[in-house]
Amino acid sequence: MRAKRQYLFIDFEFSMPERNVRVKDFFAEIIEVGIVAVVDDQIVEQFSSYVTPLKFPKLSERCKSFLHITQQQVDSGLSFYDFIRKLEEFNKSNLETTIVTWGNMDMKVLRHNCLKAGVKFPFQAAELDLSMEYKRFFGDQNQTGLWKAVQEYGKEGTGRHHRALDDALTTYNIFKLVEKDKRYLEKPKPTTIGDRVDFSKLLNEFA
């Protein structure tokens, strides 16, 4: 029997430095997480939380205004270690898992944050960069932004752009649209003569 597959649609928002200001050893940290877990085309869990940055806890003004996130929100968020423990809960031993993100930054930053915090990367899963899949599928020269991609489908994104859970849900919606298009383009198998002719009816006519 084929193992069930779990898809985790994940989006993170990151901290950022002030423009034109050098902060010694600064690196982007995850400050908000949105996850949509899907099994058998059904959403089985949605998770959303702010995350308190470990190394650079004070957000820049640029970050707060760009993401519409307050210092208070991240201060009262999950600690980085609790955040990692939460991610580990999505490793289901009875499910093959694929993580789907828009772009490759989310997993890059997560790996880097884990390295800096001295913790193990929390996922045991295949990874799919949907923006590259989209680019290959439509033959675009450049990678398309998440919300531009959904608008190209004549749809609107879910909720507000740059809110982690809204972007994760939008990624899931594009994934469904791309998968549907792929199935549509797959050539149907040629029918055999047996499919075209009902031999039982034919034999009855000669009986």
Q: Check residue 14 and report its DSSP letter.
A: E
Average pLDDT for runs of 10 along the chain of length 207: 84 94 90 97 96 96 95 98 97 94 96 98 95 78 70 66 89 89 62 50 51
Q: Which CATH number do you get for residue 27?
A: 3.30.420.10
> Which segments of the chain are extended strands (E)?
4-14, 30-39, 42-50, 95-101, 126-129
Q: What is the pLDDT of residue 153?
A: 67
Structure tokens at 193: 């003569």
Residue tagged active-site, from 88, 112, 133, 162: 162
Q: What is the pLDDT of residue 185?
A: 64
User: Is 13 tagged catalytic?
Assistant: yes
Q: How many domains does the chain have?
A: 1
Q: What is the pLDDT of residue 143?
A: 63
Pairwise CA distance, residues 111 & 120, whole Å: 9
Pairwise CA distance, residues 113 & 136, whole Å: 29
The number of angstroms, rounded, from the C-alpha of 196 to the middle of its chain's C-alpha atoms is 43
Among residues 6, 34, 9, which one has the least CA distance to residue 172?
Answer: 9
Residue owning tokens 């960069």: 129
CB 11 within 8 Å of CB 171? yes
Structure tokens at 23: 């902060």
Domain containing residue 198 = 4-206
User: Is 179 tagged catalytic?
Assistant: no
